[in-house]
Structure 1
Amino acid sequence: METLRERKKQRTRDALLRAALELFTTRGYEATTVDDIAAAVDVSQRTFFRYFASKEEAAFAVQEMTEAHFVEAVRARPPHEAPMQALRQAVIEGWDGLSEAVSAVVPVELYLRMYRLIESTPVLLAAHLRRSMEVEERIARILAEREGVDVRTDPRPRLAVAVFAGVIRVTERQWSTGEDMGVAAIRELTARYLDQVGPALAEDWRTR
């Protein structure tokens, strides 16, 4: 059972996280300091560093949670699904549960605004791409285990994840420049782009 002290610590962390994302998305990531975040919650800089090692860690805290959620969703997919189908269903069906998990920490709308900020801020985008490579390797290993192959000698798990990740990157870029910031919009766009992978790779694009 969670103690009063643990609940208080969680509330402080959540408040710092919300303040950080609000400041990042309104002032800009680089223009926001740790002191700004701490002041917004009326705590000391020292208190901030009890919960986050850096400003970057706060920027990616919710995304880290969503990445873990997706990895577990892939792991939980039925074994009869083909690898690409398992990845597709994990991301499409995972949005509802993901929205619920995110909203327990910060408003979903704020998370989506932060998502867009990452795309438009070079230092955050670089960190995002680095983190994505680590997640992709974890997923490739899960697929290899599901399919009973050796990821060290069989390229298919990494190839499947590379294709999937490429589609997600295109989706993120397209969504981040659009007008609709809603969850439904990014889910619909993700499904549509994933469904185009087969034709894009195998069919002739030229009109006759």
Structure 2
Amino acid sequence: MSRLINLVGLVLIIGALTLGLAWYSSSPLVKRVEASGNTASAGVVRTSSDVASILGTPTISAAFIDQVLAHYGSSAAGTGKALYEDGGMYGIDPAFALAFFWHESTFGLYGAAHATKSLGNIICTPGYPSCIGRFRAYSSWEAGYLDWFRLLKSEYIPRGLTTVDTIIPVYAPGSENNVPAYVSAVKQMVAALRSGRMEVA
């Protein structure tokens, strides 16, 4: 009798493990592994076909952000956790922040961002405590990330500017930038990052 009870218990345990494994493998939060070309080993944490709306939970992992920054030789390498967590806190997918960072300065390799530690080359405003030239400057990349997310959350989203197409004409106006090219570049980079690629094809 005890042997039969043990056998039934074993069957129940195996069944529970099988169901748990099936749920885990189908969960959208399970990281996908992309293994072709310039891909990272564990980048995508949630899939999305929307490359316009900045709102949402992260679609890329903190580890993948670090891999991208290291791939480009950025001095911001190692700060992926901060970028990821700031995006989650403000309800903005960090894939967009990373795409802006790439387009503005190739992750701090070029232009003023190398000195200002600014993800998005935010224009200095009256009363801002620290600026270099015409841009806000920060004590660390992490501080720059936080200010970028705060700017979008407080100045853009309340005005209904929640897509790349509506944000960029204000963020980088036509008097200073090629707006359609900027919009296209950010969308392409977001799509690349979400597929586990580090560069636009």
**TM bucket normalised to smaller:** under 0.3
TM-score norm. by structure 2 comes to: 0.28
Bigger fraction of residues in helix: 1
TM-score norm. by structure 1 comes to: 0.27
Greater relative CO (CA pairs within 8 A, separation 6+): 2
Larger radius of gyration: 2
